[in-house]
Amino acid sequence: MSTRRATILDVARQAGVSPSTASVVFSGKTPVSDATRRRVLDAAESLGYTGPDPRAASLRRGRSGIVGVVFEEHLGAAFQDPVKILVMDGLTDGVAALGAGLLLLRDDGPAGVEPTVTSAPLDAAVLIGCSGRMRESLEILRGRGIPVVVIEGDAGEGIPQIRLDNREAQRHAASHLRSLGHARVAIVSLPKDRARIPGLIVDESGIEVDVTRDRLRGARDIFPDAPAYAAVKSSIDEGLAAGRVLLADPADRPTAIIAQSDLLAAGVLRAAEEAGLRVPEDLSVTGFDGIVVDGLAPYVLTTLVQPATDKGRAAGQAVAAMLEGRDAASILFTCEFREGNTTGPAPDQPAKSRKVAAFGA
Amino acid sequence: MSTRRATILDVARQAGVSPSTASVVFSGKTPVSDATRRRVLDAAESLGYTGPDPRAASLRRGRSGIVGVVFEEHLGAAFQDPVKILVMDGLTDGVAALGAGLLLLRDDGPAGVEPTVTSAPLDAAVLIGCSGRMRESLEILRGRGIPVVVIEGDAGEGIPQIRLDNREAQRHAASHLRSLGHARVAIVSLPKDRARIPGLIVDESGIEVDVTRDRLRGARDIFPDAPAYAAVKSSIDEGLAAGRVLLADPADRPTAIIAQSDLLAAGVLRAAEEAGLRVPEDLSVTGFDGIVVDGLAPYVLTTLVQPATDKGRAAGQAVAAMLEGRDAASILFTCEFREGNTTGPAPDQPAKSRKVAAFGA
DNA sequence: TTGTACGCGTTATCAA
DNA sequence: TTGATAACGCGTACAA
């Protein structure tokens, strides 16, 4: 008997109505008399019918209610990043208006199995970042005619982008430091490519990650020769490692460090503690992102607060717009400068500018 | 002309083969001669056909290739939790064997829109946690005939569960402390219910969260009267707050604190620093989870290492099994005790056992 | 307010 | 190795 799940047809039959009427009862697209609704619902109940099969419905409607989110890294790595989490959060909101859910997709399938970006039933997709291999995913999606929005990445012609004024914002922070009298400044940057080799950045043309490049440029607009140390990833521990390197030589210490993320900045603060430096008396530190760094108190980072959640929400709305046939504009979000207690006047020290230049190499 | 996307029918026609042959070329389920394949692929190319429509395919196959992951909280909150992230990571692996993707679902839709757990095209679902409202989702899913696996939650009859030996593990850590001579011990627990009110736990029967309850019992097996302070959530800052409370009175300090998570433990370490206590000389601290806490160095927590990634992977495999008709067994994972440098012999102090009892209220 | 009829794009089955 | 056929389960014009 229970060899097959009941379909809407069975329900209609049992209720003594036509299939279309039954359908309408579930979709609510058309008014139905209470009596009929009752009968249909009762029939459904008695048959154990729990509503239209989403697969059939989505074929019929041409919509699956699913928005893909494509990451270029291991999911574990992606969720290590507080900013991405906020973006996801906003995205959830943004697509909720569509009644859609988010499907996690990785850009570099282990090649063995199904590369989901080619075969998932997506209504639209959001790419987070857009370097290298991500392009392939992009091409595949476009080929399939699936609307795409890109967050923090340059996807080229005709694809809505959600971006940040990274360069201007970072420049603002740098200006702030300069206005406090700092001249010997060092930078801790985000990774510059997929290889993620830590170390002083020598060849800046080799920077493949947009965010890293743009923020670096912003700092360079004010401090053209500041040495920049690329971290392995955005984390406190890596910030600590970078900070140790930059603060290693007491005779040639920067008076301020510009970190390209709050996590890196938190690590630099640790390095300063280790080195016996007071913040901000001996060393000023700026971050970027404006996230809440767990365990950072009593410091309040001087940083650029980016509207991460809004970025996600905007992406969701852009997706919604495209699905409704409107076309979605790219958006450039602005960071807000927030002055905390990690920056202060440059200490009175002889400005060893010669050495700084050498340091900048 | 390009009014409609090409279908496999168009491709077949253009290639001069039957639709079923064209289908087989894309699915690879049946051998096809090279010549035929060529013709079909060429036709597809010329028509801009990029492969079968996943919606139609999934209707036909009865599979969508999508596994839902149901959280009982805001996604942002879920991804704040390092353990959940590891679980997700393992889950990704586990379902990859199915060629499936993960669809993020929230248990408490904003009521306005589509409650996705009722209407998403899922092949299976994984619930993370299973308290309160989660039950509803569970019922809906079961009603739809969708296989469900639960991680860290009791779902009742016939539903495979992936769990941890929380009580035994926590007891192990507590024993370790006792063997080091500790008698005045306090506990910092995870939230005890959705209300997440911080404070000393008075009524232990009011604990709704399985993990909190089980770990507490484990500690209580060794230290029946230890006071337990429930944190708002598992984070360093909340651990710090709890630590401050527990270490507030110099005259009546515990010599050891059992934290129910590594993050909480990290916060307690901060509180100890603040209070001028040395760890482990003046205070021993244990955590739970065995995650890497960013920025914790030089401390290495004494903790219970749980196989979080394995839990996720196991859930994925259980799902795979159920989809193949085999039935999946529940699994109980075991934590491994890891001794770090945050526990040591109890300091030589008069054991104020009376006060401890009072403290335990 | 309800019913009829058809198509959404595939793929499994089986026979050739 | 290929082809014919028949679902898969539903939504929606359109007519009544």
What 3-state DSSP class applies to A216?
helix
Tokens of A211: 């965010």
* A147 vs A255: CA distance, rounded Å: 48
Inform me whether the C-beta atom of residue A337 falls under 8 Å from chain B C-beta atoms.
no
Q: Which residues touch strand D (CB under 7 A)?
A: A 4-5, 7-9, 19-20, 23-24, 26-27, 29, 52-53, 55-57, 59-61; B 16-21, 24, 30-33, 35-36, 56, 59-60, 62
Q: Does A96 touch chain B (CB under 8 A)?
A: yes
Domains of chain A (ranges; CATH) run 8-52 (1.10.260.40), 66-159+307-335 (3.40.50.2300), 166-302+339-358 (3.40.50.2300)
A359 has pLDDT over 70: no
How do residues A169-228 score in pLDDT, each as one tens digit?
999 999 999 999 999 999 999 999 888 889 999 988 889 888 999 999 999 999 999 999
B181 φψ region: left (φ > 0), alpha (ψ -120 to 50), beta (else): left
- Nearest chain B residue (CA) to A114: B99
8 Å CB contact of B119 and A51? yes
The structure tokens listed for A116 are: 């989901």
To which residue do tokens 């401390």 refer? B299
Inform me whether the pLDDT recorded for A234 exceeds 80.
Answer: yes
Look at residue B360 in the predicted model and tell me its pLDDT: 36
Model pLDDT, residue A2: 43
Nucleotide D10 C1' to residue A15 CA (A): 17
Q: What is the mean pLDDT of residues A221-236?
A: 96
Q: Per-10-residue mean pLDDT for chain B, 361 residues long?
A: 76 92 90 91 92 93 92 81 92 86 78 70 90 81 92 85 97 98 97 89 89 96 97 95 96 96 97 95 97 89 97 94 88 97 86 41 34
Beta bridge partners of B67: B102, B124
Beta-carbon separation of A99 and B121 below 8 A: no
pLDDT on residue A117:
87
Q: How much is the pLDDT for A352?
A: 46
Contacts of B288 (CB under 8 A, 6+ apart): B169, B170, B173, B215, B259, B260, B261, B262, B265, B303, B304, B306, B335
A342 has pLDDT over 80: yes
| Strand B256-259 relative to strand B185-189, pairing | parallel
What tens digit of pLDDT does each residue of A78-105 get?
888 899 999 999 998 888 888 888 999 8
3-state class (DSSP) for residue B280: coil
Higher-confidence position of B360 and A147: A147
Residue type, B66: I
Amino acid at B255: T
Q: Which residue has the higher pLDDT, A281 or B105?
A: A281
pLDDT at residue A109, rounded to an integer: 55
Whole-number pLDDT of residue A97: 81
At B351 the pLDDT is 44
pTM for the full model? Answer: 0.87
Q: In chain A, where do the E strands start and end?
A: 66-71, 101-106, 124-128, 148-151, 161-164, 185-189, 199-200, 228-230, 256-259, 284-286, 303-305, 331-333, 336-338
| Rounded alpha-carbon distances, angstroms, from residue A27 to A6, A31, A182, B117 | 17, 10, 65, 16
Contact across the interface for A103 and B101, Cβ inside 8 Å? yes
* Protein residue closest via CA to C1' of C1: A32
Spatial CA neighbour of B229 closest among B213, B245, B218, B211: B245
Grade residue A115 by pLDDT with cuts at 50, 70 and 90: low
Q: Helix, strand or coil for residue A218? A: helix
- Residues A10-38 have pLDDT tens digits of 999 989 999 999 999 998 888 888 889 99
**CA-based nearest residue to A341, from A187, A180, A228, A184:** A180
Q: What is the tens place of the pLDDT at every residue in A124-136? A: 999 997 676 788 8
State yes or no: pLDDT of A44 exceeds 70: yes
Residues A247-279 have pLDDT tens digits of 999 999 999 999 999 999 999 999 999 999 999
Pairing of strands A331-333, A161-164: parallel
Instruction: Tell me which long-range contacts A110-113 makes (C-beta under 8 A, separation of at least 24).
Output: A110/B96, A112/B96, A113/B96, A113/B97, A113/B99
Highest mean pLDDT among A65-74, A113-122, B178-187, B201-210: B178-187
Nearest CA to A134 among A151, A119, A157?
A151
Instruction: Give the confidence band of A58 by pLDDT, cuts at 50, 70, 90.
Output: very high
Residue B113: predicted pLDDT? 52
Cβ distance A130 to A153 under 8 Å?
A: yes
Q: What does the pLDDT look like over A283-335, one tens digit per residue?
A: 999 999 999 998 888 899 999 999 999 999 999 999 999 988 888 889 999 99
Distance CA A266, CA A261 (A): 9
